[in-house]
Structures are given as structure tokens and as C-alpha cells.
Amino acid sequence: MRLWTLHPKYLDRAGLLALWREALLAQAVLRGATRGYRRHPQLIRFQNHEEPGAAIAAYLADIFSEAARRGYRFNPAKIGPRRNVPAIPVTRGQLLYEREHLLAKLALRDVETRRVLAEADEPDLHPLFRIREGGIEPWEKMRGPGL
């Protein structure tokens, strides 16, 4: 499961579809509707939010918006109740780590989308997050060389 800190505009088709599915799974986990993935590190920042369900719904709503912008037909009825929620802080180090991780994936899948991300010195965040200084988040599962 990867719940990207990066704005979904940087994802290729496969990445955006996977993010939608994984964020829906995360929503089910946060609702207690599934037994798996309850301790997945990608969920920590949502679990620590004062309103976890509303936070994941806000996250999904922005994925839906990006999909709609591209002409994809995701089902908005799958998103839980939405309202404005406080942003989730994320470190600059995490954002840049995810940028490198996604660049490696896109090198194999979508060269044009990779070029757009590579040209962003500091990529845009998913709208739910706000940047703060710091290294890679402690919950991140680090990958070896080549990510």
C-alpha cells in the first residue's frame, strides 16, 4: 500500500488507479471494515489525525478530482462523508523520498509522466498535506538502492 504524499497529478494511469484502490482499502481499514492492513505504516498519519475517517475521505476526494480531470470514471459514492479537515504535516524529506521512489517506477512505465515529475525541484503535495522541515518520516519503509 502506498498513500502518496505527492499530488496525484504526478501519477501515471496505473499509479492513479492503484492509489484509488489503495486509498479505498485504507478507508475500509480505518472504518474497521477489514481485518488486514490495520498496522500498515502508510496508515499511521491518518490514524493519528483527529478525524481519521474524514481525513481519508478528503484524501480520496482529491484523487477523485484528479481522475475526473483526466476523464476517468471513478465512483464518488465510494468516498466516505467529506468535510474540511486540518492538514496533515509531512516532512520535506518524505516528499523528496517519495519523488525519487515514483521517478524509479515511472522510468519503467511512463517516460513522459516521469519527465514532468523530474522537472519539479520540489513537487506539489497532495492537498491534504502541508510541508514541514525534516527527514524521511519514521513510519516509512525504506527501500534499498534503486528504491
Which tens digit of pLDDT belongs to each residue from 25-65?
999 999 998 877 777 888 999 999 999 999 999 999 999 99
Tens-digit pLDDT profile for residues 102-136: 999 999 999 999 999 999 988 999 999 999 999 99
Question: Which residues on adjacent β-strands are paired with residue 90?
Answer: 131
What's the DSSP call for residue 43? G
| Alpha carbon 20 to chain centroid, angstroms | 9
pLDDT band at 146; cut points 50, 70, 90: very low
Looking at every residue in the chain, the average pLDDT score rounds to: 93
Give residue 36's pLDDT: 74
pTM of the model: 0.92
- Collapsed DSSP state (helix, strand, coil) of residue 132: strand
Using DSSP's 3-state secondary structure scheme, residue 86 falls into coil
In the chain, DSSP assigns E strands to 88-91, 129-132
From the number of C-beta atoms within 10 Å of its C-beta (0-12, 13-18, 19+), residue 62 rates as middle
Asked if pLDDT for residue 82 goes beyond 90, the answer is no
* Whether pLDDT at 145 is above 60: no
Cα–Cα nearest to 95, from 62, 144, 59, 135: 135
Which residue is listed with cell 522510468? 107
Neighbour count for residue 126 (Cβ, 10 Å) = 23
Residue type, 89: P
pLDDT score recorded for residue 144: 59
